[in-house]
Amino acid sequence: MTRTIAPETSPTPGSTEVRARHLGLALLTLAIGGFAIGTTEFVTMGLLPDIAAGVGVSIPQAGHVISAYALGVVVGAPLLAYFGAGLPRRSLLVGLMAVYALFNLVSALAPGFASLTVARFVDGLPHGGYFGVASLVAAELAPVGRKGRAVASVMLGLSVANVVGVPAATWLGQSLGWRWAYVSTAFLALVTVALVLWFVPRCPADPDSSGRRELSGFRSPQVWLTLLAGAIGFGGMFAVMSYVAPLVTDVAGLSHRAVPVFLLVFGLGMVFGTWTAGRLADWSVLRSLLASALGLALALLAFGLVIPYGWVAIGPAFAVTTIGSVLVVNLQLRLMDVAGHAQTLGAAMNHASLNVANALGAWLGGVVIAAGFGYVSTAYVGAVLSVAGFSVVLLSAMLALRARRAQWSR
C-alpha cells in the first residue's frame, strides 16, 4: 500500500487534489478520534461501581468524576479557541489528541479519588476543541455542497462509540479492571495521532486569527441563541437517557436484561441520525434545526405515552436519539455559520453547550422524580425542554430573517 503524505507545501483546503487523495481517509481518521472521545466519555458511567470500589469511595461520590470531565469540556472549549486560534489545524488536532491520550493514561494510573477527579477534568479539556477543529477541517476538505455530510462523518465516530466502543471498553474494564478501559482509550487516541499525521493534509492557520478575534464571537446574539438552543433543547434527550434503566424495569415492567437492548437502540438511533443529519444539513441547516427540535419533543412525548406498554417503546426510543442526533450536527454547523471570524470558538463551543444539556436534563429529571411524579415524567420534562429549544431556534431564525430583509432594503 502506498502511503499518502501531506505535501510539504500546504495545499489549498478544498482543492481538487486534496479531495481526491485525502478526503475519505482524512474523514475516517477524524471520525476515529471522535470514536475515542465518545468511548472515553461514556465508559465511566458503565464502570462507576468498579471505579468507586477501586478508589475507595461510594458510587455517588464516584459520579463526581463524570461531572469533572463534563466541566473540563465546558471550560476547555473557549480556552482552546483562544490559545489555539493561530495554530495550524493539523498540528492542533495532534496536540489535542496527544493530551487526551496522556490524561487517559494518568486516569488509569491514578492512585486515589482526588487524583482521578483531576485527571478526568484535564482529560475533558480537549474534547470540545477536538470536535470543533475536526469539524472545521472536514468542512474545508469537503467538495461544494457536501459540507454537512463531511461534518456529520466526524460526528459519526461519537455515535458509533455508543454502539461499539462503550460496550467493548466496559467489558474490558469489568474483565481486567477498570483502569484498562482508560488504557484502551489512550491507545485509540494515540492511533488517531498517527493517522492524523499520515492522512490529514496540512491546513495552514489563518494569519489574521487571534484569541481576541475568537472571543469576539461571544458578541454575536446568534452565537448565544444557538448555544442556548443546544443547552436547553438537547437536554430533553438526556432527561430520558439518564434514567433509562428504571424506565425500562419499573415503568415498562421488563427485566433488567432489556436495558442493554434499549441502550443499543438508542445507540443505533444516534448512528442513523448522524448519518441522516449530514444530508439534511446540505439541504438547509436552519430548517433542519427547527424540524429536529420540534420532532424531538414529539418523539419524547410518544416515548412517555408508550413506555408503560413495554417493548412498544422501542420505536419511539429509536426516534428520540435519531432526531436528537440530527439536532446536534446541525447545531454544530449553525455555530460555524454564525460565529463569523470566530470559527474555532463557534465550532468548539457546541460540545460545551451539549455537556450543559447533559447536566440540565439529568438534573431536571431527578427533580420531578424526587417530587413524586414518577420516572415516566422525565419524558414529559424532556418534551418541554425540546419545545423550549425549538422556541429559541425559531427566535434565531426570525432575527436572521429580519437582518436579511434590512440588508436587502439598503
- pLDDT value of residue 18: 43
Q: Please, are residues 83 and 209 in contact by the beta-carbon 8 Å criterion?
A: no
Number of C-beta neighbours around residue 304 at 10 A: 23
pTM listed for this prediction: 0.77
- pLDDT value of residue 49: 80
Q: How far apart are CA 167 and CA 318, in angstroms?
A: 18
What are the two backbone dihedrals, phi and then psi, of residue 117, each rounded to the nearest 5 degrees? -60, -45
Q: Please, are residues 296 and 357 in contact by the beta-carbon 8 Å criterion?
A: no
**334-373: b or e for each residue (b if 16 or more CB lie within 10 Å)?**
bbbbbbbbbbbbbbbbbbbbbbbbbbbbbebbeebbeeee
With CA atoms as reference, report the closest residue to 354 among 202, 127, 171: 127
- End-to-end Cα, the chain, rounded Å: 58
Q: How far apart are CA 174 and CA 214, in angstroms?
A: 43
Domains and CATH numbers, the chain: 13-209 (1.20.1250.20), 212-410 (1.20.1250.20)
> Three-state DSSP class for 410?
coil
With CA atoms as reference, report the closest residue to 322 among 302, 306, 342: 302
For 46-74, the pLDDT digits (tens) are 787 888 889 998 876 787 888 788 888 88
As a dihedral over the C-alpha atoms of residue 63, residue 37, residue 35, residue 151, rounded to 10 degrees, the angle is 120
With CA atoms as reference, report the closest residue to 332 among 70, 73, 122, 139: 139
Number of C-beta neighbours around residue 2 at 10 A: 4
Q: How far apart are CA 44 and CA 64, in angstroms?
A: 11
With CA atoms as reference, report the closest residue to 298 among 327, 263, 274: 327
User: What DSSP string runs through 322-355?
Assistant: HHHHHHHHHHHHHHHHHTTT-HHHHHHHHHHHHH
Q: Please, are residues 137 and 30 in contact by the beta-carbon 8 Å criterion?
A: yes
Length of the chain: 410
> Three-state DSSP class for 375?
coil
- pLDDT value of residue 167: 85
Q: How far apart are CA 377 and CA 33, in angstroms?
A: 36
Q: Please, are residues 189 and 253 in contact by the beta-carbon 8 Å criterion?
A: no
With CA atoms as reference, report the closest residue to 68 among 35, 41, 93, 88: 41
Q: How far apart are CA 288 and CA 141, in angstroms?
A: 23
- pLDDT value of residue 12: 41
Walking along the chain (410 residues) 10 residues at a time, the average pLDDT comes out as: 39 41 83 92 80 84 82 86 79 93 95 94 91 86 80 85 86 90 95 92 69 73 92 88 82 84 87 88 88 95 95 94 91 84 76 84 85 90 94 92 76
C-alpha cell, 21: 487523495
Q: How far apart are CA 29 and CA 165, in angstroms?
A: 16
CA atoms within 13 A on the CB side of 407: 6
Q: Is the dihedral of CA 297, 299, 305, 308 positive or negative?
A: negative
CA distances to 202, 260, 305, 328 from 252, rounded to whole Å, are: 52, 14, 11, 28
Q: How far apart are CA 163 and CA 160, in angstroms?
A: 5
As a dihedral over the C-alpha atoms of residue 286, residue 85, residue 127, residue 57, rounded to 10 degrees, the angle is -130
